[in-house]
Structure 1
Amino acid sequence: MTINVFDLDKTLIAKDIEYFFIYFLYKQSRVKKKILKKSLNYYKKYIKNKLNFNKYLKYFYKIFCKNKKKIQPFFKKIKKNIYKTTFALFKNKTHKIISTSSVCVFDNYIKTLFKSNIISTRIKTKNFKNYKVVNICKYLIKKKYKKIFFYTDSVNDLPMINFCNKSLIVNANFLFIKKIYSNKAINFIFLKTIL
């Protein structure tokens, strides 16, 4: 039996959920432009695999705590940014879970939207790079899955890609494609998605 593990940002949805939340707040005049710029810099560091997660989490939680009431209207925007292609694959799978580096503050909304369990990042339990492998192993300990099929867009997920039996690489950029092809042990296929 195979478990299908889906990344969230840029895999199931077309946005980075945290940066998109900050942008949403900015458009509603809830945060200043310097906060938007700082968030974009954090996002760029994440893309380049250079993000200091501890520093970033403290920063994001501080903003989130002041804007909790904005999550519900924000998720109306998220619904309009779901990738049709990967979501169709997701809906088709019986055995599935979302594994995301995104902060856990969105978990309940994501569970409702996708009708799925989720593994996400907390202050004491990170879920990125090698931590994704550790956390999925913990999740699967008492389950009878023999294979893992992983869906992701991110170069940060290379440890998980190496760990899984097969991976579907979504909308990969040049750096990611280069890394994938340089590792001949990886079993993968590429996919371009549409909204």
Structure 2
Amino acid sequence: MIYLYDLDKTLIKEDSAKLWMDFLCEQGLVGSEFVKAQEKYEDDYAKGILDMDEYQRHFLSVVKGKSVDELKPLLAKFVELKIRPVVYKGALDLIRRNGSRAIVISATNDFIVGAICGFLGIEEFVATNSQIKNGVYSGFMEGVPAFRDGKVERIKEILSGGELKKSVFYSDSINDLPLLKAAKTGILVNPDRLLLKLNDEFKFEIIKFDELAFS
């Protein structure tokens, strides 16, 4: 069996992109107006109306011109300060219990998802790719974002149709409905309001996490 996991508000309590912006603001690397703009995009995401291209231009402007090596210590500090305190204990128990092949698939950008997966001990992940040229972030995304139908398209890059049909996918978000339907089994973790409303039709199993692993 192959187990697929959304990241934000599924394995961790918060949105990692928001936490990243909060962290950068605390480090004096962005201003409060940038964080407020981020919050507007997060609201659009929750409503299922996010313009991903526009959002990526905003989000990646922060790392534009920075090298991969330059970002590594910043990401390590971010994971320790912002991610470690919001990891669900139930999520870690679930991953351990499921065993087998585990893949995180998230609309968040690859440098953030990769750092978090390293902390969680998950080797495979699919995320929205950030373009790198000559070891430096260009400020643009690359390829199809791992978002809505794009999650299905991207997971098919590493799983055959037969493997996907044997997979289990865990998510909280209405934006992940395409992959919840494409997997053999979709399971909702602390589902958002819109997804919970639609579940009257789809009748996915629902599980709840609340206890934090490192509180």
TM-score normalized by the length of structure 1: 0.89
Q: Secondary structure at the match of 1:121?
A: strand
The Cα shift of 1:43 comes to: 0.6
- 1:96 paired residue number: 102
- 1:141 paired residue number: 160
- Structure 1 residue runs without a partner (length 5+): none
- 1:76 paired residue number: 80
The Cα shift of 1:142 comes to: 9.3
**Within the alignment, does 1:30 sit opposite 2:29 as a pair?**
yes
AA in 2 matched with 1:155: I
User: Residues 164 and 184 of structure 2 are in contact (CA less than 8 Å); yes or no, is this contact kept in structure 1?
Assistant: no
Identity percentage over the alignment? 27
User: What does the per-residue CA deviation read over 1:32-89, in whole Å, with 9 as the maximum and x for residues that have no partner?
Assistant: 1111100000111111111111111121111134683522211102112101112210
**Within the alignment, does 1:189 sit opposite 2:205 as a pair?**
yes
Runs of 4+ in structure 1 over 2 Å off: 27-30, 64-70, 141-146
Q: Secondary structure at the match of 2:176?
A: helix
- 2:133 paired residue number: none
User: Quick one: structure 1 residues 15 and 95, their matched pair in 2 at CA, closer, same or farther if it must change by over 3 Å?
Assistant: same
The Cα shift of 1:103 comes to: 0.7
TM-score normalized by the length of structure 2: 0.82
- 2:178 paired residue number: 159
Root-mean-square deviation (CA), in Å?
Answer: 2.0
The Cα shift of 1:181 comes to: 1.4
The Cα shift of 1:145 comes to: 6.8
AA in 2 matched with 1:119: V
AA in 1 matched with 2:159: L
Aligned residue pairs, count: 191
Separation in structure 2 between the aligned mates of residue 30 and residue 62 of structure 1, nearest angstrom: 12
- 1:20 paired residue number: 19
- 1:8 paired residue number: 7
The Cα shift of 1:127 comes to: 0.6
User: Residues 12 and 87 of structure 2 are in contact (CA less than 8 Å); yes or no, is this contact kept in structure 1?
Assistant: yes
